[in-house]
Structure 1
Amino acid sequence: MEKSELDFSIERLGVCSIPSPVQGIRFMDDDGRVLYFSCLEEMQPWLDSGSPPPAMEAAGPSGKIFFDPSRIACGIVTCGGICPGLNDVIRAIVLSLHYHYGVQKVYGFRFGYAGLVERLGLPPLELTPDSVSRIHEIGGTILGSSRGPQEPAEMVTTLEKLKIGILFAIGGDGTLRGAQKIAEEAKRRGLQISVIGIPKTIDNDISYIKTTFGFETAVAEARRATYAANTEADAARNSIGLVKLMGRDSGFIAAYSVLVNSHVNFCLVPEVPFSLSGFLEALKRRLERKSHAVIVVAEGAGQDLMAKTGERDASGNIKYGDIGIFLREAISDYFKQARMEINLKYIDPSYMIRSVPANPHDAAFCLLLGQSAVHAGMSGRTNMVVSFWNHQFTHVPITLAVSQRKKIDPQSMLWNSVLAVTGQPDMI
């Protein structure tokens, strides 16, 4: 890996000269860094050359801030699909802005980036500590969400009219790309607007971020589906439980749902191709040996086995075929031709998983992400996303975060553990 590929420098609007009003906590050293690599052998090339190993800025409150809290307003927008913890993050940002810094005006832009376009007629909500006091108890987002890009110039004009100094953009890859364009447009106009991303994707697929909020809750909910599939499969001879989980290009939910209870016999993810005939033959051997089987498939797996849809969604992503339905029909047809009677139960809990409130660990994670985002924004940082890396909260340039999609490495310990737990054969 080239050194130039790991430039974690964070853009700033200017010098921090205002004493922070935050009281009763320890301020972070502005030079604090968190190592990117955790293994000595990965750092060795930098050490051999006498260069410091790649490291991210450590997140946290600064003793001096850039913005005068009495003179700015802030904005929050949520984009893309819903995810456990969205309301927790909104609440954490509002409470931190109000109680830590004394910011009096916080706007919530409705229905994603569309809410930042004045001509679309979606006036923002004014968010106060009272209005957000109980929102963490419900799923979804009180602001609403949407997919698809909007014109950066129109969005920055709205921010300028409302005198917004910091925009918090909560979302995944597409949302962060939009946030980057907003930051660039504000810079082009010479406006001092900080744009801070908070990584939200149920698929946990944003690069340089170990875990995104809502992922743990999603895996916990997925466990209910795999448990039900296993219970059904145990209850009848030659019974199959087939569960489709979210994971468009990255199969992290599917992989971790396998590790939760060791009930799953086949895990199919986008990162590891498989042949249909190889899979079906392995499934038949499993039934002959054990009389039941549980299969977990991520939504993006096996797309090469199906006809292309030729369509795109509002975010510009190619619409995928439904691998769950495809496998259900393929399994039924295969065993019918083999004259082997089976009992197949198909479970698709996708929207149930993403609509629930955050579990306790995710709720605490959301609080810390929101607070870290506020501290970063008040210090004048911009065009960045709050990250969690090597057990610490950090800052990552949006450019790096969207440079590639994080995926399961088929050679990793994670995938090796999945193979060990399922016992599935090589089906390529």
Structure 2
Amino acid sequence: MKENILVVHGGAPTAVMNASLYGVIREAEKYSNIDHIYAAIGGSGGILKEHFLDLKTIEKDKIESLPYTPASAIGTSRDALEKEDYEQIADVIQKNKIRYVFMNGGNGSMDTCGKIYHACKEKKYDVIVVGIPKTIDNDLAITDHSPGFGSAARYIAGTVNEICQDIRALPIHVCVIEAMGRNAGWIAAASALAAGKDENGPDLIYVPERAFDEDAFLEDVQRIHEKKGGVVVVASEGLKTKDGTPIVEPIFTMGRATYYGDVSAHLANVVIQKLGIKARSEKPGICGRASAMFQSSVDREEAILAGKEAVCAAMEEKTGIMIGFQRTNDIIYQVKPIEIPIENVMMYENCLPDKYINPSENGVTQEFIQWCRPLIGEKLPQYVSFR
């Protein structure tokens, strides 16, 4: 009997989201029972609208370009779904004779994945639902890391590396770089990989897993400025004070969403006003979220693998799971795919553990650097300075 597949993208794009899509397509083509490989155009909303594209009809050269194409070729979303929406989604899936559903996304998308799984189960529809991990924030539970993070880590490390060269050449001011990751500091921490053999990396790194102390921050900046002249600071966008208050007040709220001002601009202003030192802010923002130029080859290959493994698991009638990764060798980087019950990853945030944050709470440990370095792929350029 012929059966159909549905692939859905959810949440923010990444540099390797399409690589996982490629993995699903290429693995699904191996099975004679698969008739259509549908993509929901525009995320979960695309399911409700029955806006489907059969990926089997797309030219081969375009499919082969997917692993190197940033963001999402089929579109993604952050739709706020209610219980009745999930019931409707289950009916649409049944109506279109879809047997296998693959949800590619992060925390919110895995919550959606789990709810689609339960909605189909409650209606007694014979549907297999499997999650494919994706998040630049690296905050999905249980899996060692998630596709999307390695490329975002490479971007922040490469960008900070170049900024450090700029500040070393003209060491007269403080540069504060804002990293994405409102509740988890993985991306900010990855900026530490900017340091090469000469250790010319960021001077200070602040992550949301630690309460931000403005006085300690100013003391750190003053001390380093007196010693070096130029200071490079990486600050997570989600920094909060000891009582949990964001260090920058909200500037706009709409429904469930709250928008904050720039942490980097705020901290640069604090340095100018309280220390009298020239300072500037940089906010790469979404420039590093889906950068093909900084795509990690390791990230790309693991994203493809996650897509393929999802199809393999589904064909073995495994459902209500997410594909993850487990390290198998602490000396030479090796991972193996694992299957994680979807309930264990639905809306659970995996934050930076204590062992990866230095005792001064203004940087990371060597253990974090050793853990993170393989994920960014090829070594970053090593620059020369005669200072």
Where in structure 1 are there 5+ consecutive unaligned residues? Answer: 1-69, 422-428
Task: State the aligned residue count.
Answer: 341
Q: Distance in 1 between matches of 2:162 and 2:182?
A: 23
Q: Secondary structure at the match of 2:23?
A: helix
- Structure 2 contact 171–228 (Cα < 8 Å) conserved: no
Where in structure 2 are there 5+ consecutive unaligned residues? Answer: 328-334, 367-387
The equivalent residue for 2:88 is: 154
- Structure 1 contact 276–305 (Cα < 8 Å) conserved: no
Q: Distance in 2 between matches of 1:212 and 1:361?
A: 11
Q: Distance in 2 between matches of 1:175 and 1:242?
A: 32
The equivalent residue for 2:274 is: 334
Q: Distance in 1 between matches of 2:321 and 2:181?
A: 25
Counterparts in 2 of 1:295-314, with a 5 A limit? 295-302=233-240, 304-309=246-251, 311=253
Q: CA deviation at 1:268?
A: 0.7
Q: Secondary structure at the match of 1:256?
A: helix
Q: CA deviation at 1:306?
A: 2.8
Q: Secondary structure at the match of 1:405?
A: coil
The equivalent residue for 1:18 is: none
Q: How many percent of aligned residue pairs carry the same amino acid?
A: 22
User: Do the aligned partners of residues 183 and 420 (structure 1) sit closer, same or farther apart at CA in structure 2, a change above 3 Å counting?
Assistant: closer
Pick one of 307, 313, 319 that aligns with 1:382: 319
Q: CA deviation at 1:83?
A: 0.5
Does 2:103 align with 1:169? yes
- Structure 2 contact 106–134 (Cα < 8 Å) conserved: yes
The equivalent residue for 1:197 is: 131
- Structure 2 contact 141–345 (Cα < 8 Å) conserved: yes
Q: Which has the larger radius of gyration?
A: 1
Pick one of 323, 343, 353 that aligns with 2:263: 323
The equivalent residue for 1:54 is: none
Pick one of 114, 125, 140 that aligns with 2:45: 114
Pick one of 214, 236, 261 that aligns with 2:148: 214
The equivalent residue for 1:282 is: 220
Q: What is the aligned-residue RMSD (CA, Å)?
A: 2.1
Q: Distance in 2 between matches of 1:158 and 1:210?
A: 34
- Structure 1 contact 241–295 (Cα < 8 Å) conserved: yes
The equivalent residue for 1:402 is: 346
> AA paired with 1:275?
D
TM-score, normalising length from structure 2?
Answer: 0.82
- Structure 1 contact 116–154 (Cα < 8 Å) conserved: no
Q: Distance in 2 between matches of 1:409 and 1:362?
A: 22
- Structure 1 contact 75–164 (Cα < 8 Å) conserved: yes
Q: CA deviation at 1:220?
A: 1.1
Q: Distance in 2 between matches of 1:270 and 1:197?
A: 27
Does 2:28 align with 1:97? yes
Pick one of 159, 164, 174 that aligns with 1:230: 164
Q: Secondary structure at the match of 2:101?
A: strand
1:331-387 deviation digits (Å, cap 9, x = unpaired): 222233xxxx42x34222221211223432112111211111001111222221101
Q: Secondary structure at the match of 2:181?
A: coil
The equivalent residue for 2:51 is: 123
- Structure 1 contact 238–291 (Cα < 8 Å) conserved: yes
Q: Distance in 1 between matches of 2:210 and 2:20?
A: 33
Does 2:248 align with 1:248? no
> AA paired with 2:112?
G
Q: Distance in 2 between matches of 1:322 and 1:346?
A: 9
TM-score, normalising length from structure 1?
Answer: 0.75
- Structure 1 contact 232–241 (Cα < 8 Å) conserved: no
1:399-418 deviation digits (Å, cap 9, x = unpaired): 111263101122x1464694
